[in-house]
Chain A
Amino acid sequence: MTVLSLIVFLPLAAAAVLALVRLPDGAARWAWLALTVADLVLVGVAVAAYETPPDGGLALEQRARWIPSVGSSYHVGVDGLSLPLVVLTAVLFAACAVYALREQRRPRAQAALFLFLQSTCLGLFVAQDLILFFLFFDLSIVGMYFAIAGWGHGDRARSALKFFLYTFLGSLALLVGFIGLYLAADPHTFDIPELVAAAPLQDSPVTGGWVLAALLLGLAVKTPTVPFHTWLPPAHTDAPAIGSAILAGVLLKMGTYGFVRIAMPVLPDAWQDWAWVLITIGVVSALYGALVALAQTDLKRMIAYTSVNHMGYVVLAVGAAGLVGSGETARELAVTGAVTQMVSHGLTTGALFLLAGVLHQRRGSYAMDEYGGLAAPAPRFAALFAVGAFASLGLPAFSGFIAEFQVFTGSIGATPVAAVALLGILLTAALFLRAVQRLLTGRTTGLSVGFPDLHLRETVAAGGLLALSLLVGIVPWPLLDLIAPAAESVVDLVSR
């Protein structure tokens, strides 16, 4: 068993043990934390062992027989597109375990569920086989369904069901696309590297277009992009803080990751044909998400809509990468930016959702107008929230700037139309500053009076994520050294 498999299945095994063994609550919470840290250490080992593979190949690869009858195998491996997301996943789950150290509601079950969820997320990012990818994709939906329905609040049953139905339907579209690829490949296979090498459907634009449409539909629902995003706000609003952090931080990336891992390299011709559709969806999502977020009065809904905005930049960048007529440097920069954005969004939005959860945990409300002057009773909360807001609006020295600067410079370099999306960063600035103003400043009124400041575990969890965002913002090249070669090969592949 290689280190990747160990990384994927350690949480799953731990989940099984936690589910079966009746540990006391405290022990279960600490065991969860210990396991996420152990997994994080393993991921560290994997990063240390990682060397950029030549010719856009995979590292730490492992392949075993699984369902040979349909050309599907247990095939895992990482490259510069997936390894950063594996690290992000491990980090976010560890942060959630820290945050949940005082969870009172069925902590053992929660720990088991989140460990299970962690396995599915990690599994998806290392999967190199479409069936394996799909399996983890759907299992993550199931896991998140229970996280929302079991530990959420408000109208959680309904929100969870909506989330489940919507994203599951999306996953079926994805499956149709996968089967299309399978049938088109000769010999039939679900293996991603083999499909990439074969690039089936290169010569059949109509079928290629339909298969890409199915893939895009599935991935667009998960990302989500306008107009397939309406499951997101209720899911976030009613999810527990750590559920939201994982949903936004990791699960949304499964959609955008699917673009760069599967859709772009396997269907280059169709991707080029569809580039303008993607650019349009990206620009519309970025602006629409930001505008709708600007009008929100509920903090969590607001942050949820900013995810639509942030993911819009990613879609814009990967769309621009399909414009083969334009400069290659620009398109590589755009894709590097897109992957950086996935990591960055996970860190900053994850932190913001954890902080938003503090409001609900203390006062049962996310309504911004019911607070005011929080900076007086809760200076630590105020400081972290303000930092998170600036990180999320793309301030330099945080990861968001690194991501967005590359996305914009690269996309505008590929097509000037991308400049329209620049208004998105202005709108996000406006909405976050408004939120800061409403929540933190002014006289201390309403629910803010006597608001207890962040506990150590909350500070560590949210602060740690933001510190990582700061680190990436100031010293970005270790991360970009991972991503850039992979982005280069994706652009090469999509330009075929």
Chain B
Amino acid sequence: MTPALLWTVVALPAVVGALLCLVGRRADRMAPAVAVGTAAAGLALAIVAAVLRPEAESRFLPGLPFGLAVDPLAAVVLPAVAAVTLLVLVFSAADVEDGRARFTGLMLLFAAAVAVTVTATTLTTLLFAWEVMGATSYALVGFSWRDRDKVGAGTTAFLTTRTADLGLYLAAGAALAGGGGLALADLPAAAGPWRDVVAAGVLVAALGKAAQLPFSFWLSRAMEGPSPVSALLHSAAMVAMGGYLLLRTAPLLESTGWAGPVTAWAGVLTALTLGAVAIAQSDLKQLLAASTAAQLGFVVLAAGVGSVSGGAAHLVAHAATKAALFLAAGAWLSALGTKQLTALPGAARRWPVVGACAAVGLLTLAGIPPLSLWATKDDVLAVAREQSVALYVAGLAAAGMSAAYAAKALWQLLRPIPPDADAGYDTEEVGNRRIRTPQVAPVVVLAAGAAVLGLLVWPPAGTELRAALGESGAPRPPLLDLVLSATVALAVVAAVARVDLPEPRWAARWLGLGILTDRLVTRPVLRLAELLARFDDRVLDRAVLSTGRAALAPARALARFDDRMLDGAVGGLSAGTLRAARGAAVADTAGVDGAAEGVAAVTRRLGGLARRTQTGQLHQYYVLATLVLGAGLALLLLTG
């Protein structure tokens, strides 16, 4: 019964999503209801699965099964993702107008891929879902296909993450060569240098998906997609899955010796730099995106230092927080036609419920107690400090950055509505000046989650989670640390109210990573492609033609020799065989050829053409053929 449960968790959204996409426009009317119903069922099933912990396995490739299982880690993340999916779909029902069937269908397909990613037990299964996530994200970011820029944003996201995904292909090959098998749990058992290759491959793939350095820029462009897409993909699911993969493979990272620290530093440096990037943003969604990369940095740090429980708690709490904020930003964008922070003063006052929720979300991001991220982040940092004080200090500085960018957005939104507010509206799209209840309700639920999900690190839930993950002995943050981080957060939030934050160009443009990639990778590759294409046409193709022509001259001479002298001499079995085969071929061809009258007409015309332009070439060609054959025979007789 339980394998069936797990298969249903995965297959239900996949099948319904595929059907919605397949039926298309005719299903637009009913699509939101069907999708919300499916997602609700999906959430219920996910909760049951989290309790029952089912496992399922099916045949897939030779020796490489398709395995799924809900372990303690998946039991935390699976219901969380399912809940965010449901809430985002409820929001979309009121927010997305065009192509609803396609939109909801793709969202459900995406949700199915995430469910497989979360529960995957082998590299094969993981890679399968991992790439489907990427493809659905492409289709969702580029959902408004009439706008080529948006499709281009999807392309950037897909290509960047797929570049990183190559790491998983490499890891699979290395795992096979290393002899440890492709089960995720067996990866640390791979032999010698292969294990390092596996770890490196997994790490690169995860960093790409989690928009960590140096891959972060794709997330910036992905903000061109619809807000509900960002709320699901760029908070709770796809980006978070990068962090999740590292949490799941933490034992592998640790086993290599070097991968753990590298991961930890990659995470903390991303948290720091992308924090700075977030501070410099003037567009609310861009700020939130940079913040996502930065917050995922803490999850990556957690994986690097082996704090799986802390990382999982941070991942889930951040998912709720960021989804709430993206939905709020999306609601304002639909209502006011802008997501520019300079145009949004007073937005929180105009719609107080959404405003209050956004405030809760931003305060959570800032790390204000007792909200969730304050506690979860400190949980991670406590383990980090055990390993390296430098990591801890960098992490604390990154937390300060979070407080700064969160406060920047918070104070802007909380300001009184300026008298000339209307002038700033409708710059990006035409707003409808209303936010409906189905849009508000999910934001409220998510904000509540953002506030309380810190419970995942406190007793009793935290104790249980740590026990389930075998981390009961992990260091907990001392009271002093908790107070210290809270003080830093409060001080920064208060300071930002008075000081204008700098917006340096390097940070505002996401460190120039996108431009750099364009100049150093995309353009050279395209240039190389063009050069090779020209080489193909002008050199390779012509070389073949001229070789053919050059071969004809001696062939002509030899032909005479051949006709008069050799032909009679070349006897033996092989030539007989050749002639038999050729004879059969010619007879057969001629038979069909003569019979098919239509074909015959063409042949005649072609014959005419060939006579005019290629006099004798076929004949000469056959001579050449005979020559090659003769040479080959001579060679064989001599050497054999």
Chain A residues at the B interface, C-beta cutoff of 8 Å: 15-16, 19-20, 67, 69-70, 72, 106, 108-110, 112-113, 116, 131, 134-135, 138-139, 142, 146, 149-150, 157, 160-161, 165-166, 168-169, 172-173, 175-176, 179-180, 182-184, 188, 190, 204, 206-207, 210-211, 214, 227, 230, 288, 291-292, 294-296, 326-327, 329-330, 332-333, 336, 373, 375-376, 379, 383, 390, 395-397, 401-402, 405-406, 408-414, 416, 418-419, 422-423, 425-427, 429-430, 433-434, 436-437, 440-443, 476-477, 480, 484
Contact = CB atoms under 8 A, between A and B. Distances in A.
Interface string B40-61: 0000000000000000000111
A112 B172 contact: no
18 contacts: A110-B598, A112-B598, A131-B580, A150-B598, A157-B610, A160-B606, A176-B633, A179-B577, A329-B176, A373-B146, A405-B127, A406-B61, A412-B173, A413-B173, A442-B151, A443-B146, A476-B61, A477-B61
A278 B151 CA distance: 39
A413 B177 contact: yes
A116 B632 CA distance: 32
Contact of A294 (B135, B163, B174, B526): B526
A184 B633 CA distance: 12
B349 interface: no
Nearest to A72: B577
The 5 residue pairs across chains A and B that have the minimum distance between CB atoms: A109-B598, A412-B173, A176-B632, A295-B533, A413-B176
Given A112-B599, A214-B632, A295-B529, A135 B584 contact: yes
Contacts of A330: 173, 176-177
Nearest to A70: B577
B614 A210 contact: no
Nearest to A177: B632
B242 to A, nearest CB: 17
A410 B151 contact: no
B599 A165 contact: no
B159 A288 contact: no
Interface residues of B, number: 86
Contact of B544 (A16, A110, A184, A230): A230
A292 B628 contact: no
Contacts of A429: 158-159, 162
A31 B231 CA distance: 55
A296 B576 CA distance: 46
A376 B533 contact: no
Given A166-B544, A430-B159, A294 B145 contact: no
Contacts of B526: 294-295
Nearest to B62: A484
Contacts of A230: 536, 540-541, 544
Nearest to A188: B573
A408 B621 CA distance: 40
A419 B628 contact: no
Interface centre among B597, B610, B614 (most CB of A within 10 A): B597
B57 to A, nearest CB: 12
B390 interface: no
A441 B585 contact: no
B503 interface: no
Given A146-B603, A295-B533, A419-B173, A396 B598 contact: no
Interface stretch (B402-410, B471-479, B587-595): B587-595
Interface of B: 24-25, 59-63, 124, 127-129, 131-132, 135, 138, 142, 145-148, 151-152, 155, 158-159, 162-163, 166, 169-170, 172-174, 176-177, 179, 182, 197, 525-526, 528-530, 532-533, 536, 540-541, 544, 548, 573-574, 576-578, 580-581, 584-585, 588-589, 592-593, 595-599, 601-603, 606, 609-610, 614, 621, 624-625, 628-629, 632-633, 635-636, 639-640
Interface centre among B174, B576, B581, B584 (most CB of A within 10 A): B581
Given A109-B597, A395-B132, A150 B602 contact: yes
A413 B61 CA distance: 15
A185 to B, nearest CB: 11
A146 B533 CA distance: 28
Contacts of A109: 596-599
A139 B591 CA distance: 12
B148 A437 contact: yes
B176 A434 contact: no
A434 B142 CA distance: 13
Contacts of A437: 148, 151-152, 155
Nearest to A418: B173
A394 to B, nearest CB: 8
A329 B636 contact: no
B573 to A, nearest CB: 5
A440 B580 contact: no
Given A409-B173, A410-B176, A413-B177, A190 B540 contact: no
Contacts of B25: 379
A397 B606 contact: no
Contact of A176 (B62, B132, B170, B628): B628
Contacts of A19: 592, 595-597, 599
Contacts of B179: 327
A414 B173 CA distance: 8
Nearest to A414: B177
B599 A442 contact: no
Contacts of A412: 169-170, 172-174, 176-177
A411 B632 CA distance: 33
Given A70-B577, A139-B589, A402-B61, A426 B163 contact: yes
B145 A375 contact: yes
A168 B622 CA distance: 10
B640 A207 contact: yes
A405 B169 contact: yes
Contacts of B640: 180, 183-184, 204, 207
B161 to A, nearest CB: 10
Contact of A113 (B59, B138, B599): B599
A291 B589 CA distance: 38
A429 B128 CA distance: 16
A294 B63 contact: no
Nearest to B178: A413
A333 B146 contact: no
B167 to A, nearest CB: 9
Nearest to B123: A409
Contacts of A15: 592, 596
Contacts of B131: 395-396, 401
Contacts of B573: 69-70, 182, 188
Given A295-B530, A422-B169, A210 B639 contact: yes
B15 to A, nearest CB: 11
Contact of B629 (A175, A207, A409): A175
Contacts of B151: 436-437, 441-442
Nearest to B155: A433
A294 to B, nearest CB: 4
B61 A106 contact: no
